[in-house]
């Protein structure tokens, strides 16, 4: 599943490839990915130019002339830039450009979403208005207080995009390991010092992952000719049965909030 670093890699690659392209028309073999009436969407986006591509958390934002298109890739959403190649089975949304190129959205599970909102209001509308701050922008006092208002595991809290944006399963495991905090700890037990350690670790993990183009693991690659290398930096995630890089204790896998979670039982008491 693409997380913040992977989405940022896609954003940078797309911006270089399709910035300033004008959309001539859109077709949708599977229209449910568009969260609004497709005919309305199709007419509204026609002849608009992609001026730039932003990102908030795991959301891509295409800034057009009059509107912003909010895109969530969900589990397996990918983009391909093509011209006149035959349409593939899982290419569900095709943006045709005046230049002759087209941008194809590929999604095997069909979980991704696209929503068109006015430029004046998109930041104040769902889903972006409910999104938490990214680690680099988070208010430490508010973060600590929000943790203590919850009664869940710290792993589940860090996955909550309303609390903190951009962290998914891979980077939460890595953040918790670097902070020496066990994923099943209750949020109410996290000290201010530990909260600071979590944010500091999350920043470092995400910065390094972005630098390396994200993590190419299982079902996710950028599909735009960019393959992440952060998987070579992973310390616990997907390392079940291997020795901890710090203490040598065997890394275990457990379920926390229904998510596969990798832990060093010695470093993370």
Is 215 within 8 Å of 234 (Cβ atoms)?
yes
Helix axes 4-18, 192-211, angle to 10 degrees: 40
H-run or E-run covering 89: none
d(CA 136, CA 134): 6
| Annotation says 211 is catalytic | no
Q: Which of these is catalytic: 3, 8, 21, 174?
A: 3
Helices (H) and strands (E) in the chain, counts: 6, 10
> What residues contact 103, with CB distance under 8 A and at least 6 apart?
14, 18, 21, 79, 80, 81, 94, 95, 97
Residue 204 is among the residues annotated as catalytic for this protein = no
Q: Can you tell me the distance from the alpha carbon of 65 to that of 123, in angstroms, rounded to the nearest whole number? A: 16
* Residue from 86, 114, 84 nearest 97 by CA: 84
**Residues pairing with 62 in the sheet:** 53, 69
Assess whether 259 carries a catalytic annotation. yes
Does the annotation count 58 as an active-site position? yes
Catalytic residue among 110, 185, 204, 259: 259
Candidates 11, 58, 78, 155; catalytic one: 58
Quick one: tokens of 127? 């889903």
- Which regions of 49-140 does DSSP assign to beta strands (E)? 52-56, 59-63, 67-72, 78-82, 91-97, 102-106, 113-118
Considering 2, 5, 135, 183, which one is annotated as catalytic?
2
* Active site amino acids: 2-3, 58, 259
């Amino acid at each position: 599943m693409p997380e913040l670093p992977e989405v940022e890699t896609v954003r940078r690659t797309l911006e270089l490839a399709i910035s300033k392209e004008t959309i001539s028309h859109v077709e949708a073999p599977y229209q449910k990915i568009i969260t609004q009436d497709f005919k309305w969407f199709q007419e509204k986006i026609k002849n608009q130019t992609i001026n730039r591509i932003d990102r908030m958390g795991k959301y891509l934002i295409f800034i057009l002339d009059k509107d912003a298109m909010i895109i969530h890739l969900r589990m397996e959403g990918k983009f391909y830039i093509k011209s006149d190649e035959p349409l593939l089975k899982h290419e569900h949304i095709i943006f045709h450009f005046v230049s002759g190129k087209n941008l194809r959205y590929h999604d095997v599970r069909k979980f991704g979403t696209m929503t068109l909102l006015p430029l004046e209001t998109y930041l104040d509308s769902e889903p972006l208005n409910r999104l938490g701050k990214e680690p680099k922008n988070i208010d430490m006092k508010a973060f600590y207080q929000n943790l203590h208002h919850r009664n869940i595991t710290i792993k589940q809290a860090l996955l909550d995009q309303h609390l903190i944006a951009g962290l998914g399963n891979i980077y939460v495991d890595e953040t918790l390991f670097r902070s020496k905090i066990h994923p099943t700890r209750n949020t109410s037990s996290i000290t201010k010092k530990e909260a600071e350690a979590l944010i500091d670790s999350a920043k470092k993990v995400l910065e390094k992952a972005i630098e390396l183009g994200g993590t190419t693991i299982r079902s996710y690659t950028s599909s735009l000719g960019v393959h992440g290398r952060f998987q070579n930096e992973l310390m616990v995630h997907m390392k079940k049965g291997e020795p901890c890089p710090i203490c040598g204790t065997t890394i275990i896998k457990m379920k926390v909030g229904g998510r596969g979670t990798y832990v060093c039982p010695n470093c993370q008491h």
